[in-house]
Amino acid sequence: MKPILVFLLLFLATQKHNFGQHFLNGSFEINSSELCGINLTNASFNALMSNTKSIGIHESVDILNAEFCQYGVLWNAQSGSWFLGLDIGYDTLTSNIISLELSDSLNINNQYTLSYFDVAPLSTPEVLEIGLSLFESTFGDLIYTSPLPEIYTWTKREFSFLAPNSGKFITVRIKTAQLARWVNIDSFEISIGGSSAISFPNSFNRIELFPNPTKENFVVDLGKTYQQITITLKNVMGNIISSSDFTNVDKIHVNLNGWSPGLYFVEIKEDLRLVTLKIVKE
């Protein structure tokens, strides 16, 4: 077998979890609903919707379509024709919770970027909480708390996070326990890694790599001063190219002179916190 083919096979094997994750029904288009589904019980919702389940104690998720629903006519879907509505239950004072299935489990401590759209259909918006769960039936670990949704206007949310577990389910709920809170959601997408400037909830502050791509040198801007930080650079095979410790720094200059062009991974570690970013050398 030729060496280049062996390299390709090894690379693909190590990247199994890096390129395969996606939502199986992130835009809610795979469903058998023919009309509006308003205040659906968990059983009714789950019978209609594929790869997305209603799991909360409060059972009243809406399956909405602007063409069919008078309730949804002002808020067209952001991808396809369908979107969902969550609310707070008058009986339980708890939120609906939905669980969206991924095509593959995430890798613990790997960095991912998730995006979706939200809108408040009433004048009482409330923030959403996003979780990552090992199980379809539980909320799991909190990974993101959203800003307040805009009233009557769809807004795209995008954030990056380090996977706290190897979950295969992204969960969504309304944070508050107050009555009369509704939020519509649509178009969930996920990808490995993130942009060169990322805000990490429950982890580091904003970190930036620039320039990216680079011809020789780049800067790791940590966003604040850290007493001790470790920077490790790896190639696409996961082999360590270099690793260095730094003290009392907020910016680190890295020299790639003599390195082959291609993609490299930059691991930034402080105590138990770890984030991995991508840098491209031209």
- Provide the pLDDT for residue 178: 63
- Provide the pLDDT for residue 180: 60
Residue 5 lies in a domain: no
| pLDDT at 131 exceeding the cut of 70 | yes
β-bridge partners, 52? 100
Do both 240 and 124 map to the same domain?
Answer: no
- Provide the pLDDT for residue 164: 87
Query: Cβ distance 142 to 170 under 8 Å?
Result: no
Least confident window among 35-44, 67-76, 79-88, 126-135: 67-76
Both structure tokens of 256: 């790639």
CATH code of residue 266: 2.60.40.3080
Place of tokens 């409060």: 58
- Domain stop point among 151, 171, 192: 192
Query: Cβ distance 55 to 97 under 8 Å?
Result: yes
Find, among 204, 205, 206, the residue nearest to 196 by Cα.
206
What pLDDT digit, counting tens, does each position of 150-197 carry? 888 899 898 888 888 999 999 999 887 566 678 999 999 998 875 444
What pLDDT digit, counting tens, does each position of 190-245 carry? 988 754 444 444 345 567 888 988 898 999 988 888 888 899 898 877 788 899 99
CATH code of residue 107: 2.60.120.260
Return the biggest CA–CA distance within the chain: 66
Residue 271 lies in a domain: yes
Query: Cβ distance 219 to 210 under 8 Å?
Result: yes
Total structural domains within the chain: 2
Parent domain of 186: 14-192
Q: Angle CA(196)–CA(258)–CA(249) in degrees, nearest 5?
A: 45
Q: What's the sign of the alpha-carbon dihedral 193, 199, 203, 204?
A: positive
Residue 2 lies in a domain: no
Query: Cβ distance 130 to 175 under 8 Å?
Result: no
CA atoms of 282 and 273, how far apart (whole Å): 29
- Sequence-distant (≥ 6) Cβ neighbours of residue 259 within 8 angstroms: 241, 281
Do both 203 and 252 map to the same domain?
Answer: yes
Residue 34 lies in a domain: yes
